[in-house]
Amino acid sequence: MSILDSRAIQEILPHRFPFLLVDKIIELEPRTRIVGIKQVTLNEHFFQGHFPDAPVMPGVLQIEAMAQVGAILALREFADRSNKIPFFSAIDKARFRHPVVPGDTLVLEVTALRIGSKVQRMRGVARVDGKITAEAEIMCIIGDRETGEAK
């Protein structure tokens, strides 16, 4: 079951292929928690070089996927969200625990630690089949799309 599908996500996030790393949102508690899904397929662009004979999703892209899910949670709070852009500003306590490979369903759970008008701080956990693959605290600054400045 999906709360937000790909089209609804693209109405909120500025990211597009090949860098949109969330396929759907399946749980949402405004200002509190969100869960997204990324279906990992062999045709992902990053598998061409990481690694062709033993494809593994880069950990930094798992964190980027968490950040995108968190950005959906944050941007939903802005009436003028089409004029906003989330800028990654910090990653803390990042850990990579298990490889993610083609065919995996990556479940991305993000919990708000602070939702503000400019700065968002969240904790993300990525899982495959219930097993943690990556986790981190992430922070972003919400900027104006035209100027790139935090407003």
Q: What is the CATH number of the domain that holds 65?
A: 3.10.129.10
128 within domain boundaries: yes
150 within domain boundaries: no
Q: How confident is the model at residue 145 (pLDDT cuts 50, 70, 90)?
A: confident
1 within domain boundaries: no
How many domains does the chain divide into? Answer: 1
86 within domain boundaries: yes
Q: How confident is the model at residue 107 (pLDDT cuts 50, 70, 90)?
A: very high
**Whether pLDDT at 129 is above 60:** yes
Stronger pLDDT, 23 or 84, i.e. the higher one:
23
84 within domain boundaries: yes
Q: Which of 15, 45, 50, 98 is catalytic?
A: 50
**Whether pLDDT at 64 is above 90:** yes
Indicate if 45 belongs to the active site: no
Tell me the residue range of the domain where 133 lies: 6-144
Q: What is the mean pLDDT of the chain?
A: 93
92 within domain boundaries: yes
**Whether pLDDT at 68 is above 60:** yes
Residue 12 region, left (φ>0) first, then alpha (ψ -120 to 50), else beta?
Answer: alpha
Q: Using CA atoms, how far apart are residues 98 and 24, in angstroms rounded to an integer?
A: 22
**Whether pLDDT at 151 is above 60:** no
The percentage of residues in the chain with a pLDDT greater than 70, rounded to a whole number, is: 97
Q: Which residue has the tokens 């990042």?
A: 94
Report yes or no: 58 and 94 within 8 Å, Cβ to Cβ: no
Q: Using CA atoms, how far apart are residues 61 and 52, in angstroms rounded to an integer?
A: 17
For 116, phi and psi rounded to 5 degrees?
-125, -175
